[in-house]
Structure 1
Amino acid sequence: MQTYAHRTERTYKRSFGLRMLGLVLGFLILIAPVHAQDVLRIPYVADIGTFDPDNGFETGAMSAINNVYEGLVEYEPGSTKVVGLLARSWEISDDGLTYTFHLVDGVKFHDGTPFNAAAVVNSFQRRRDRGLSLSYFLSNVAEVRAQDDLTVVLTLKHPQPSFLDALSSPWGPKVISPTALAEHDNGEFAKTGLNEHAVGTGPFKLTEFNRGQRYVLERNDDYWGDKPFFRTIQISVVPDISQQILQLQAGLIDAVPINYPFAQLTNLPTGLEITAAPSMNQFDLFARPGSPLDDVEVRKAVMTAINPALWVKDAFGQFATPSKSLYSKAMLDALHPVEFPTDLDAAKAAIAKHGAVSLVIGLHSAAPSYGRIAELMIAQLALIGVKATAYILPSGAAYTLKDDPNPPDLLLTISGPDAAHPENQAKVFFTKDAPLNFFGRVLPEADTIVDKAGQTTDIKERNALYERAGQLYFDAGQIIPLVDVDDVVVHVQGLEDLGLRPMYPPGNIDFATVRRGS
């Protein structure tokens, strides 16, 4: 009996222990998905150069920076409508020179410093006056002053109808904690310190900066606005898209934000889905002066062959459409779309009459879409007797083509503006002094129309002028718009409200709005 009783007790204890272990494991299984729900894991193709919102033209990391820092206004998700952010309302004077912003009350920076008008003045003056790379956003601001603790007044040098768009740009001026600016100022206005530190008012705080490997954002539980769904955003740097896809399929990350091959989108593995949204991701060709396209007959023949209607579906499936103008359709819906010739037999005859024509296409990027577009256009050109080749330009080479002794005949690029106003497209890419007028082409008649449009406040009249100027650049063969491509994010099933904005570079999920559905 004693032996039996002893064994029974041990058996009971073992059984009880196993039951408790089972309960604990079951509990962990139950809570593990809940814990996982708190974390969003996002890969970046390129490393983050800087978290300084004033001193770096980041593209892939825009969602991270803009969830740490905030500006006075922003573009509403899914549109180009300007809405308030740190400014709850504003007025514009009749002469278009004075902008008065009324600030949200009760906001604090991540370090506890109160947000007020003085902080706005301090940040805006830093961007404008300290030689930072994005200072041009405020170059037309003559004065920025605090009228009181919750009112900021900006006075312009001359009217600028695109000014609110400049402030709403993803690269527009943000407000930085004055305490942090002072702490990181080593005599160079915190240019170095803010590369790896960030103190804003946004819904997330930067808590880990591990260059080239990993970045972590944690939810700001004292945020003045709506609280984000995710507590933690884990950002990894994974340059290879195939590796990103493998990690997504293995459940190690939650999305492939950009460059998922379009050819694979129609046959996604189980458990994955697509969110697509309008984008200003427009592919264009810029032609150098002196290229074979200067000949009107050759240009017409080439335009016939590369007509994007012939290849857009092969390249992008349902996620792109032929461009209607030199401006993205998300910015300006052209009333009179550009037209490509369509008679391939006539194009072939024109080339045969002219004699041998060869074209070299320079690709601004090694991203897969560039190569696919070039491949399809080369095949189309071969049908009319034009020999074309393509190569990927070295990093940064597109910006020095004016001085290149042996430039390509055509540059294939994305002419993405920095704000959703047509002026930001024309004055950056098209006009004589545009910084990204890649080949330095000049068309004074069109430039004059752009100048007039830039001072026009009536949107319908303004858009008509920009569209007319764009048509002139197109007719002259300087710039050839090809396709508008959607912002396409492949992610695990259940992610909702990604907050994609047309003006943002593709793939920039808004960490403040994205959530897991029920």
Structure 2
Amino acid sequence: MLRGKLATVAWYLAAGFLAIALTSQSAFSEETLRVPYLVDIASFDPDNGFEIGSMSAINNVYEGLVQYKPETVEIVGRLAKAWEISDDGRRYVFHLVDGVRFHDGSTLSAADVAMSFKRRRDGGLALSYFLENVDNIEAVDGLTLKIDLKRPQPSFLDSLASPWGPKVISSKALSEHDIGDKAAGWLNEHANGTGPYVLTEFQRGDRYVLKRNEFYWGRKPFFSEVQLPVIPDISQQLLQLQAGDIDLVPTGYPFSQLRGIPTSFRIFSAPSVTLYTLFTKAGSPLDDPEIREAVLTAINPNDWATDAFGEYAAVAKSIYPRVVLNPERAIVFPTDVERAKEIIARRGPSTLTIALHSASPAYQRVAGLLIAQLASIGVEATAYPLPQGAAFNLKNAASKPDFLLTIAGPDAAHPENQAKAFYTEEAPLNFFGRSTEAADHLFEEAGRAIDIQNRNKLYEKAGQIIFEAGIAIPLVEVNDVVVHVEGLQDLGLRPVYPPGNIDFGSIHR
């Protein structure tokens, strides 16, 4: 009898412990969001790192004056609740939200914003170019900031709203940790902003942890903790998603597998500036208009975009993503395949080389389709991935490929950000250093235009010149696609952000 009573007690105790364990596991899954990163964070400094995969973390720890509204390119306030622009377009006055606190407990003032913006402008940092047109930055009073530009810049608010735009860092942190480096050393692995999350764990190459800012001035985030493990193998991410160890795969889920995902998962797709583009070197066979016609006929994306990306892509209409500029007249690829074959048989070339910006599966998939298309008209093409960072040095490389396949997406939603990033003579991402005087003049005129309709016509005309000269060939625009567990809502994706950068402050169950 005693043995039976002990067994019964043991059973109830075991059941109780099991219930506690299940409750803890449930609480963990409800209160913690687990988001893998494919690429490690190089620097958490919001002024000194062109991070791609980790912008979601940086932009939930730090905030700027304005931001893009989720899933749009509409500019709305963040730390600035209102602003005025002078009639000549050179003076911007921002009125700050009252009662905002930094993670160190200090209260935000216009002086903090001025100090952060001056660090960005004057520090010789990776992202200083965002404020190169800023002449004066002044805290008028505790909650009013005045910025004077050297010349009118209609794209200025877009630059402030960019995911890489200037953020506000605690003045106390900047002063305490400045050892002659503008606090860059400390900010590589530490943070002190005003955002809805606080950086609490930085384990380079392994994982990062954000904790909810309980004193956040805005809407309180749903998740108390965000765990960011570094999982550089997409196949491992897929396995961990299926095992329940992570809550979503933010980017890189193979498009070919999207139709067969488990029924417990969901797909969230939104517009993006992911624009696959071929840049061509000077002196390639494509400088000849007739050969260019034949090659364009072969690589016409209307013939392969669906094979590569299914329903999540659209054939490009111009050198700009649609959310930046939707042209009145789309670029046109020739379609006479027999004429293309005749041109190649008569004039060549027999081979072409395609360099890929990286070895990512998406680049390789597109390259494979392009190779097959070119083979159909008698051109043998080869493709190879470039080492990390090598695409940015092609301009001065001793040996250049005929094409570079890359994603040509701007860092903000104004056409100027696209043009001056990729296509003007001095553009930092003008991979082969090619431009035309006619397009450059149009870009300059458009950059000063206030009337949006007139502005877009000028940018569209310049884009047509770039395409018709064979400098760049836009191919397909691909949506942002996130695969996640059932129940997650309001991912807060923004078209201009790099793919997969969800908003931890808005997402919830």
What TM-score range do you get, normalising by the shorter chain?
Answer: over 0.9
CA distance in 2, matches of 1:48, 1:282: 24
Quick check: 1:230 aligned with 2:223? yes
* Matched residue, 1:360: 353
- Give the 5 Å matches for 1:80-479: 80-479=73-472
Residues 194-236 of structure 1: per-residue CA shift (max 9 Å, x gap)? 1111010000000000010010000001100001111110001
The code of the aligned residue for 1:213 comes to D
1:206–1:217: 8 Å Cα contact kept in structure 2? yes
The code of the aligned residue for 2:138 comes to R
For residue 169 of structure 1, report the CA deviation from its aligned partner.
0.5
Quick check: 1:483 aligned with 2:476? yes
CA distance in 1, matches of 2:401, 2:232: 27
What is the DSSP-based 3-state SS (H/G/I as helix, E as strand, rest coil) of the residue aligned with 2:184? coil
For residue 32 of structure 1, report the CA deviation from its aligned partner.
2.7
CA distance in 2, matches of 1:22, 1:249: 27
CA distance in 1, matches of 2:321, 2:191: 33
For residue 133 of structure 1, report the CA deviation from its aligned partner.
1.1
For residue 21 of structure 1, report the CA deviation from its aligned partner.
3.9
1:63–1:509: 8 Å Cα contact kept in structure 2? yes
Quick check: 1:501 aligned with 2:474? no
For residue 26 of structure 1, report the CA deviation from its aligned partner.
2.3
CA distance in 2, matches of 1:403, 1:251: 47
* Matched residue, 1:60: 53
Identify which range, 208-217 or 396-405, moves more after superposition: 396-405
What is the DSSP-based 3-state SS (H/G/I as helix, E as strand, rest coil) of the residue aligned with 2:400? coil
Identify which range, 397-406 or 117-126, moves more after superposition: 397-406
How many residue pairs match? The answer is 509
2:291–2:348: 8 Å Cα contact kept in structure 1? no
For residue 35 of structure 1, report the CA deviation from its aligned partner.
2.8
Identify which range, 110-119 or 184-193, moves more after superposition: 184-193
For residue 423 of structure 1, report the CA deviation from its aligned partner.
0.3
TM superposition score normalised by structure 2: 0.98
What is the DSSP-based 3-state SS (H/G/I as helix, E as strand, rest coil) of the residue aligned with 1:49? coil
For residue 259 of structure 1, report the CA deviation from its aligned partner.
1.1
Gaps of 5+ in 2: none
* Matched residue, 1:70: 63
Identify which range, 231-240 or 19-28, moves more after superposition: 19-28
What is the DSSP-based 3-state SS (H/G/I as helix, E as strand, rest coil) of the residue aligned with 1:428? helix
The code of the aligned residue for 1:147 comes to V
* Matched residue, 2:33: 40
CA distance in 1, matches of 2:446, 2:270: 28
Residues 230-260 of structure 1: per-residue CA shift (max 9 Å, x gap)? 1110001111111111111111111111111
1:166–1:419: 8 Å Cα contact kept in structure 2? yes
CA distance in 2, matches of 1:14, 1:248: 39
1:51–1:196: 8 Å Cα contact kept in structure 2? yes
What is the DSSP-based 3-state SS (H/G/I as helix, E as strand, rest coil) of the residue aligned with 1:147? strand
CA distance in 1, matches of 2:431, 2:7: 77
Distance 1:422 1:356, change over 3 A: closer
What is the DSSP-based 3-state SS (H/G/I as helix, E as strand, rest coil) of the residue aligned with 1:43? coil
2:83–2:94: 8 Å Cα contact kept in structure 1? yes
Residues 56-90 of structure 1: per-residue CA shift (max 9 Å, x gap)? 11110000000000000011100111100000000
Sequence identity percentage: 59
What is the DSSP-based 3-state SS (H/G/I as helix, E as strand, rest coil) of the residue aligned with 1:56? coil
CA distance in 2, matches of 1:152, 1:114: 15
2:274–2:478: 8 Å Cα contact kept in structure 1? yes
2:435–2:466: 8 Å Cα contact kept in structure 1? no
Identify which range, 402-411 or 151-160, moves more after superposition: 402-411
1:286–1:412: 8 Å Cα contact kept in structure 2? yes
For residue 350 of structure 1, report the CA deviation from its aligned partner.
1.2
CA distance in 2, matches of 1:29, 1:243: 26
Residues 256-298 of structure 1: per-residue CA shift (max 9 Å, x gap)? 1111111001101232121111000000011111101011111
CA distance in 2, matches of 1:442, 1:136: 21
CA distance in 2, matches of 1:244, 1:470: 39
RMSD, aligned CA: 1.2
